[in-house]
Amino acid sequence: MRAAGTAVAGACLFALAQAAGAAAPAPPSGATSCTGCHPASAKVETKVPRLAGRNAAEIVAAMQAFRSGQKPSTVMDRIAKGFSDEETRAVADWLGAQQ
Amino acid sequence: MKRRVAASRRTFLKRALAACAVLVPLPAIAQAAPRVVVVGGGFAGATCAGTLRRLDPKLNVVLVETNPTFTACPFSNGVIAGMRALRAQQFNYEALAGLGITLAFTPATRVDPQARTVTLGADTVLPFDRLVLAPGVDFRWGAPAGYDEAAAGRMPHAWKAGEQTLLLRRQLEAMEDGGLVAISVPPNPMRCPTGAYERASLIAHYLKSKKPRSKILILDSKDTFPLQRSFQAAWQELYAGLLEWVPLSNDGKVVRVNPATNTLVTDFTEHKAAVANVVPPQKAARIAEIAGVADRTGWCPIDPATFESSLQRNVHVIGDAAISGAMAKSAFAANAQAKACAVAVKQLLDGATPAAGKIINTCYSLVAPDYGISIVGVYQAVNGQFVDVEGAGGASPADAPRENRALEATYADAWFRTITAEVFG
């Protein structure tokens, strides 16, 4: 009962915090799609690199090279062409900030 | 068992709300522990439930699914062709339970969008702030004429993975060399629009080594299909004389079947098959219709910014059941939509206004174990519907070097392991 009471009090505090605070910013356009292939978890071992926590500038450079064809690829050329420089930068920054 | 868990949660919530009511005004209470119910534990629903809890561990998320074991459709063509075990397709919900999601292994039977309740089984009523429907597809039994649930026991569809997948595999294994395998492909929209061609390819791969005098026929209700040039180039290279595609305009559409004789009938021809695989036409699963979110097409129109139904407020539809414009009904799309939907639902619960973002789909097909091809799309919302971003996406080049095919087969395998790890832990 005591635990439940503490939880109830916690829920109320959270309600107040939520009422007072602003909503967290949403991930940039397209960003959450990436983990379909690029593992979110470090436990998954594949040839497809994990992007979370990676240097954002490196991601941007890779995307530009995929888009121009300078860097050979199978699917990434087709995906990179769907994003502007600005969108690519935003996605890279977001991925870089992930744990 | 699960019902009791859900009930005790509700009791707790009631107590929590009652206690809060003394302290804070009502609008804040509504935000204290918003309730999201997700119906359907496939790639769409399971992803959405997990993403919601990761975005906000305080959300009260209930995942409603009838089957405690999930059997994945992607890669199940490999099971049919004897390349992998069905076990490799199967996942459970323990990791999602570990995230604090309440699991209810009871079918959703009613939805009241006005009262914001969903009924499980006969009488368990769950209130929700937001409902996410990810129910997948149902078959339009009776099409082709004569194809019903009983017929599927003789002529498997194998379009929902599990026992049907194994039945088709056993039939192929039991078939004598020299037999005819026929696959009937329905019109669009359908789940996994490249799946039947991958299936035909992998069955051809099996026949080529095990039963080389046999033949596989694709009887198609369509004149074109995704990745067509890449598939056809590969068939020419690998399966010439073994695999034949019969398009709609060449009398490919199966209009009637006779399970007693294993016969598929088109307008002008009767094909008596040793093994007949009939993929029936589809629609959004029944609960979508019950909830009033399916339109006259049998599918569910949505707002691409939020995946909220165009027909019912506070109800979102993701995955195969949704009308998502140019996006194919694939596991990748379901997973990507589910993550976007979860973000939007969280924003709506926080009182924010979600903006429509871009979304990606990548579908791999195996033509042989070491021969992969893919179709990719990047989509954006235009006039309330997902359309292709111009200049992006498309199919693997029909003339790509063989090492790219091998690489894509490797990436296909990597994709399956990655996505199932993301969804089921």
- Neighbouring C-alpha atoms within 13 Å toward the C-beta of B329: 26
pLDDT score recorded for residue A10: 41
In this structure, the strands spanning B385-388 and B394-395 are unpaired
Is residue B396 pLDDT above 60, yes or no?
yes
What is the model's pLDDT at position A99? 87
Predicted TM-score (pTM) of this structure: 0.90
Q: Cα dihedral angle (B168, B170, B172, B173), rounded to 10 degrees?
A: 160
Which residue of chain B comes nearest to A32, CA vs CA?
A: B339
Tokens representing A10 are: 């916690």
pLDDT of residue A17 exceeding 60: no
Residue B14 pLDDT > 90, yes or no? Answer: no
> What pLDDT digit, counting tens, does each position of B330-382 carry?
999 999 999 999 999 999 999 999 999 999 999 999 999 999 999 999 999 99
Contacts of B345 by beta carbon, 8 Å cutoff, 6+ apart: B36, B48, B52, B130, B132, B306, B316
pLDDT in tens, B85-101: 999 999 999 999 999 99
| Residue A25 pLDDT | 80
Across the range B246-264, mean pLDDT stands at 98
Nearest to B344 by CA among B317, B320, B326, B376: B317
On the 0-12 / 13-18 / 19+ scale of CB atoms within 10 A, B150 is exposed
Q: What is the DSSP string of B216-232?
A: EEEEES-S--TTHHHHH
Closest residue, chain A, to B418 (C-alpha): A39
Residues of B in contact with A7 (CB under 8 A): 12, 16
CA angle B415, B322, B77 (to 5 degrees): 40
* ipTM, two decimals: 0.90
Burial (CB < 10 A; 0-12, 13-18, 19+), residue B286, is middle
Q: Going by C-beta distance under 8 Å and a sequence separation of 6 or more, which residues neighbour residue A68?
A: none
CA angle B317, B311, B297 (to 5 degrees): 75
> What would the DSSP string read from start to end of B309-338?
BSSSTTEEE-GGGEE-TT--B-HHHHHHHH
Window 60-89 of A: residues touching B by CB (8 A cutoff) are 74-75, 78-83, 87
> Could you tell me the pLDDT band of residue A24, with boundaries at 50, 70 and 90?
low
CA distance A61 to chain B (A): 18
DSSP string, B79-142: HHTTSS-GGGGEEESHHHHHTTPEEE-S-EEEEETTTTEEEETTTEEEE-SEEEE---EEE-TT
Res B5 pLDDT > 80: no
Q: How many CA atoms lie within 13 A of B165 on its CB side?
A: 25
Q: Which of A35, A90, A92, A98 is nearest to A60 (CA)?
A: A92
Question: Å from A78 to nearest chain B CA?
Answer: 5
Chain A residues closer than 8 Å to B416 by CB: none
What is the least distance, in Å, from the CA of A69 to any CA of chain B?
Answer: 13
Closest CA to A98 of A28, A48, A18: A28
Residue in chain A closest to B413 (alpha carbons) equals A46
A80/A67 Cα distance (integer angstroms): 5
Q: B99-157 pLDDT, tens per residue? A: 999 999 999 999 999 999 999 999 999 999 999 999 999 999 999 999 999 999 999 99
Min mean pLDDT across A3-12, A42-51, A67-76, B347-356 is at A3-12
d(CA B424, CA B342): 16
d(CA B5, CA B7): 5
- Residue-wise DSSP of B238-299: H-TTTEEEE-GGGT----EEETTTTEEE-SS-EEE-SEEEE---EEE-HHHHHHT---TTSS
* Rounded CA separation B160/B21 (Å): 47
Q: Which residues pair with B71 in a beta bridge?
A: B90
Select from B306, B333, B184 the least CA-distant residue to B253: B184
What value, to the nearest 5°, has the Cα angle with vertex B7 and ends A9 and B95?
85
Q: What is the pLDDT of residue B136?
A: 98
By percentage, how much of chain B surpasses pLDDT 70? 92
Whether residue A78 and residue B421 make contact (CB cut-off 8 A), yes or no, is no
Token output for B158: 């194998």
Preferred mutation among A66, A79, A84, A86 to probe B, highest tally of B CBs within 10 A: A79
Give A52→chain B minimum CA distance, Å: 13
Closest CB from B343, B351, B417 relative to A44? B417
For A48, the closest of B335, B378, B411 (CB atoms) is B411
Is it the case that residue B237 has pLDDT exceeding 70? yes
Q: Mean per-residue pLDDT for B63-78?
A: 98
pLDDT digits (tens, 9 = 90+) for B176-218: 999 999 999 999 999 999 999 999 999 999 999 999 999 999 9
Measured in residues, chain A has a length of: 99
The average pLDDT across B39-63 equals: 98
Greatest mean pLDDT among A1-15, A47-61, B2-16:
A47-61
Higher pLDDT, A18 or B327: B327
